[in-house]
Structure 1
Amino acid sequence: MRSDMLSKRLRTVAHMVTRGNRVCDVGCDHGYVSVYLVKQGISPGVLAMDVRKGPLGAAREHVAEYNLEDRIETRLSDGLHNYTAGEAQSLICAGMGGKLMRRILEEDADKTASFQELILQPQSGIEQFRRFLRENGYLVQEEEILEEDGKFYQVIRAVPTGNQTVRAAYGQSVRIRWEAGEKKLPEDELCKLEDRYGAINLNKKTTVLLSFLSREERIYGEILESLRDNGLTDERRQDRYEQISTCLLDCRRVQAVLTESVETF
């Protein structure tokens, strides 16, 4: 399978897998990542699982097309329900909302903790999902933010630590010096920003992250303008306005720090 047959997003997911690990791909859809992992020599074998019979059937056909039935097993499963701990070292869970991903990991917490690493690509609710990982003892060791076809994606590689809570800095030795005027931001504010954007992403200071922040700034500005145009007499509108105003301030604060030193590729 040629690398150009897989999207940039899914290639990023696949290449976060530790080479030589067996993989469990939850929500495998048509099995493209599973086939890619084996064809590229990244994984010796993959368990491709999906809750839907249709996509799983397509995955089975795709596996057969490449004669990989002895390397890739397809299995009907809602999350990790039909997975047995120890069948794989790496878990892939990509292309679904953060809430659904969290449910999958929580419903079979012991099975989740049995993996050496989790490769995760939540489509939404990313700040809340990172907080969930941190508060449940998962250490983010690698992450990427990328843009493809006008959309931004974040991919995370996390490992279980056995600790109840992991620091917001995710074990990084370098912390961004966020500043509000003359004062350094308090730890809870740092934690919130790192959950939202990713501590590793922030330390990389890539142009992709800056593009993402610019889009966020524009969107927040448009929401505030719309709220003002429709009046702020309603208490719910006022609360929403304050919430978005805070998000805009945070976004601009991060932009100000990152533009001091940008790593270009």
Structure 2
Amino acid sequence: MLPTLDARLTAAAELVLPGKPVADIGCDHGKLTAVLAASGKYPRVIGADLRPGPLAKAEQTLEHAGCKDRVELRLGDGLSVLSAGEVGTIVLAGVSAQTTWEIIEQAPWVSQVGGPRLVMVPATRHSELRRWLWEHGFALAADRPVQAAGRWYAVMAAEYTGEVRIPTFTECLFGRTAEWPEGAGYAAWQKAKLPRFRLGVPDGTELAEEIDKLLDGSPSQTR
């Protein structure tokens, strides 16, 4: 029986490039791995985790879903389990923004034009991950806001272009989420956190002025 995915992982699955191998890094119990394998859209599916326990559970999930023979499970840290050019998409779901970019930094072959698409679901600090991606030459191919278990998440797909850009605070706050029907709800959630964040920002700075404008009126969401 195929496992049911929540809104986060459903959105992540929809952003994986079809027709090319895919790796689910930090696959945990293997739910997303199983759904990707069962779809038949990918010539090869790799599920990897740092710990043997989750991998054993992932193996059980794959067995129950009837697609164990279509997945290769690997034990290892981050992207050390992959080699350059092995997959078309790498999924990094359920870890923090900082852990996400640290994993990417440890695999320089990802930051190459023509490299793999990255599908990410940061558990926290969405804005900081967007900033890191833009400042390190990645472009956001998709930035989808979703709600799961009463929380907002941003499911991002990024590809390396080599074009470095320095985004504004507002761009980092909302990304490309306004392109989706759920964008207004996500923007309201992001804005609700601003008053507390503003307390730690010195008056008279450019950042303070940008935040004050956001708090005074409707956000100027940018692509």
Q: TM-score range by the shorter chain?
A: 0.7 to 0.9
| Letter of the structure 2 residue corresponding to residue 201 of structure 1 | T
Following superposition, the deviation at residue 216 of structure 1 comes to 3.5
Indicate how the Cα distance of structure 1 residues 256 and 24 shifts in structure 2: closer, same or farther if over 3 A, else same.
Answer: closer
Q: Which residue does 1:137 correspond to in 2?
A: 137
Indicate how the Cα distance of structure 1 residues 136 and 240 shifts in structure 2: closer, same or farther if over 3 A, else same.
Answer: closer
**What is the TM-score normalised by the length of structure 2?**
0.84
Q: Deviations over 1:107-149 (max 9, x none)?
A: 1122454743111111112222112111221111112011223
| 1:104 counterpart = 2:130 | no
| Letter of the structure 2 residue corresponding to residue 208 of structure 1 | E
Contact 1:193/1:250 (<8 A) preserved: no
Q: Secondary structure at the match of 2:29?
A: coil
Indicate how the Cα distance of structure 1 residues 106 and 250 shifts in structure 2: closer, same or farther if over 3 A, else same.
Answer: farther
Q: Which residue does 1:185 correspond to in 2?
A: none
* Number of equivalenced pairs: 218
Following superposition, the deviation at residue 254 of structure 1 comes to 6.8
Structure 2 unaligned runs (5+)?
Answer: none
Q: Which residue does 2:8 correspond to in 1?
A: 9
| 1:192 counterpart = 2:169 | yes
Q: Distance in 1 between matches of 2:2 and 2:63?
A: 16
Q: Distance in 2 between matches of 1:99 and 1:247?
A: 24
Indicate how the Cα distance of structure 1 residues 255 and 25 shifts in structure 2: closer, same or farther if over 3 A, else same.
Answer: same
Indicate how the Cα distance of structure 1 residues 152 and 91 shifts in structure 2: closer, same or farther if over 3 A, else same.
Answer: same
Indicate how the Cα distance of structure 1 residues 42 and 246 shifts in structure 2: closer, same or farther if over 3 A, else same.
Answer: farther
Following superposition, the deviation at residue 201 of structure 1 comes to 1.9
Q: Distance in 2 between matches of 1:254 and 1:120?
A: 30
Q: Distance in 1 between matches of 2:119 and 2:216?
A: 29
Contact 1:217/1:248 (<8 A) preserved: no
Q: Which residue does 1:201 correspond to in 2?
A: 177
Q: Which residue does 2:127 correspond to in 1?
A: 127
Q: Distance in 2 between matches of 1:141 and 1:254?
A: 28
Q: Which residue does 1:235 correspond to in 2?
A: none
Indicate how the Cα distance of structure 1 residues 193 and 213 shifts in structure 2: closer, same or farther if over 3 A, else same.
Answer: same
Q: Secondary structure at the match of 1:80?
A: helix
Q: Which residue does 1:28 correspond to in 2?
A: 27
Q: Which residue does 1:210 correspond to in 2?
A: 184
| 1:249 counterpart = 2:212 | yes
| Letter of the structure 2 residue corresponding to residue 101 of structure 1 | T
| Letter of the structure 2 residue corresponding to residue 117 of structure 1 | R
| Letter of the structure 2 residue corresponding to residue 213 of structure 1 | A
Q: Distance in 2 between matches of 1:253 and 1:209?
A: 19
Q: Percent identity?
A: 25
Q: Which residue does 2:87 correspond to in 1?
A: 88
Larger Rg: 1
Q: Distance in 2 between matches of 1:74 and 1:55?
A: 11
Following superposition, the deviation at residue 100 of structure 1 comes to 0.5
Q: Which residue does 2:164 correspond to in 1?
A: 166
| Letter of the structure 2 residue corresponding to residue 12 of structure 1 | A
Q: Secondary structure at the match of 2:60?
A: helix
Q: Using CA pairs below 8 Å that are at least 6 residues apart, which structure has the higher relative contact order?
A: 2
